[in-house]
Chain A
Amino acid sequence: MASVNSNNSNDSKPFVVLREVSKNYFNFRALDNISLEINEGEIFGYIGPNGAGKTTTMKILVGLISDFQGEVLIGGCRIPKQKEEIHKLLGYLPQNVAFQEWRTVNHALTTFGRLSGLTAKQVESRIPEVLNLVSLSDVRHKKISQLSGGMTQKVGLAQALLHEPKLIILDEPLGGLDPLSRHQFKDVILELGKRGTTILFSSHILSDVQDVADRIGILSRGRIRQVGTLNELKTRMSIQKTIEVLLSQASDKWQELRSLRDVKSVEQVSPGRILANLDANANADEVINDLIQSIVRLRIKVRGVTLLSPSLDEIYLKHVQEGENA
């Protein structure tokens, strides 16, 4: 199996299951034997470079692609056999959401609400709620073709939320949004997560994934490279441990920190910013303790001492590069 540590650490039951799923477009292998489980009520961030297979995975899950190998289950129903059952459970925002040009926001939401099984009365009461949630109440009767790209994206989110689905799949939902809209979008995702909705979303903006995802999956060249919480990914990653020391007053005494146990090298990367790189097996807490004692002894004036941990960007780059080299 191509998945790496794909099980969640908590006890929730998996709502979305992909087992050894592969998909070819002629000679191009878009997905290569991927396995993944997403638990009920979990917000799962799916990241990877362009062409990694994120959209293909999502299209398989929503039933838009049905000729694939492997097994896909959503809420116990099998794709593509029980597609209609699954479609009652899910809301989907495609990467390039598009509506017929003549539709107003209200008309689009009414149609999609009715097609999702809501009664006319339910649709009438849900539309103001979802429009309020995505801050679009004032454009309810406007034509979608007259709205900006960001607003159209919000209408796309509104149609995905309208029928209160158990699973929401969002393909690059934050692309093309201004910072305020991105913030609002993230709030909506977090709010839905609190209500127990299972969410799978992909993004290129890693800080956004970091902000909202309970777990993250890194995909590269059609294979899942890593799955886990951000902390799990950081722990698993064998990036050199580094301690950052910020001096409040210029001094050359920092060079004496080189003699500390388990410190491999010390360098001043910019005026007043010292980085101490530790040996691979060093206990960072003990080194920090020794370092602080030395700073006090040497009377070096410092503003702060921080153990640098790899960011999601670093983790992402490492695994994507590994994938590219594989």
Chain B
Amino acid sequence: MKLSLLYFDELKGFYKSKVMLFLWVGLPLVAVLFRFIQYGSTGQAISFTVISALIVSSLAGNLAAVMLAVSIINEKNRHVYELFLIRPIKRRDIVLAKFLSVYTCVAVASLIAVSAGVVADYLTANAFPATILNDTVQSLTISLSMVAVSCSAGVLIGIGAPSVLVGAILVLYGGNQISVIPLVPTMLNLPEASLFTVGLAAAVAASLLVGAVALFERKQF
């Protein structure tokens, strides 16, 4: 009950602080802009859907990890958590609420971006890109798996890093690299690779979150 309260509270925070607006409008906008730049420079039109999926896979994970790490470090250093920690709630729930809310925001932004790509393709080519839809769903699944790993890495870095600068550097160095782990089954051309990818991502994300929770439990405020 406390977890859901904290989760919706965090979502409300992202909504009120306009983070959602920038994510949900920004990601599709970047995809559209990238499509026009790519078309202008190469003269070859790649579908909006594919471009959107590419943008999501390259940007969403980083965005999520940075969002989480910066937000946690900021709140930690401003002693915001003290008022939460003196209440009858589990520390674990604070960490999980943060993770889930950012993951939700970024996942919704990714879905909006890809959906916008599909709609843009329909409007410009007057055809539903059925041939690439299957690949898009698959790549979106992989991207969201990577986002889950990035988010959990962002949480761990946020709790452990002493300053926003250190946190940002660690996210760029480490968080980004860790999020590639779920791609291993695809790289090895395993059968049912996307299924393995989701499973591996869940395992890595869960391990990182367990570490983050353990660190947060031990933290003295």
Residues of chain A having any CB pair with chain B under 8 Å: 59, 62-67, 84-85, 87-88, 90, 92, 94, 96-103, 107, 111-112, 114-117, 156, 159
State whether A100 touches B80 (Cβ < 8 A): yes
**Are A159 and B83 also in contact (CB < 8 A) when A88-B88, A117-B88 are?**
yes
State whether A90 touches B83 (Cβ < 8 A): no
Closest to A110 in B: B9
A-contact bits for B76-91, CB 8 A (1 contact / 0 none): 0011101111111110
State whether B13 touches A99 (Cβ < 8 A): no
Residues of chain B having any CB pair with chain A under 8 Å: 2, 5-6, 9, 12-13, 16-17, 75, 78-80, 82-90, 220-221
A-B contact count (CB 8 A): 64
**Are A63 and B86 also in contact (CB < 8 A) when A96-B79, A98-B78, A107-B12 are?**
yes
The contact of A64 among B9, B78, B85, B88, by CB within 8 Å, is B85
Cα of A102 to Cα of B82 in the assembled complex, Å: 17
**Are A98 and B80 also in contact (CB < 8 A) when A64-B220, A115-B5 are?**
yes
**Are A99 and B83 also in contact (CB < 8 A) when A66-B220, A107-B12, A115-B5 are?**
yes
Cα of A112 to Cα of B80 in the assembled complex, Å: 12
The contact of B82 among A64, A88, A117, by CB within 8 Å, is A64
Q: Can you list 8 A-B contacts with CB-CB less than 8 angstroms, sorted by A residue number?
A: A64-B82, A66-B220, A90-B86, A94-B82, A100-B75, A102-B16, A117-B88, A159-B83
State whether A115 touches B87 (Cβ < 8 A): yes
Closest to A94 in B: B82
State whether B79 touches A102 (Cβ < 8 A): no
When distances are taken between beta carbons in the complex, the residues of chain A under 8 Å from B2 are 115
When distances are taken between beta carbons in the complex, the residues of chain A under 8 Å from B17 are 101-102
Closest to B17 in A: A102
The contact of A115 among B75, B79, B84, B221, by CB within 8 Å, is B84
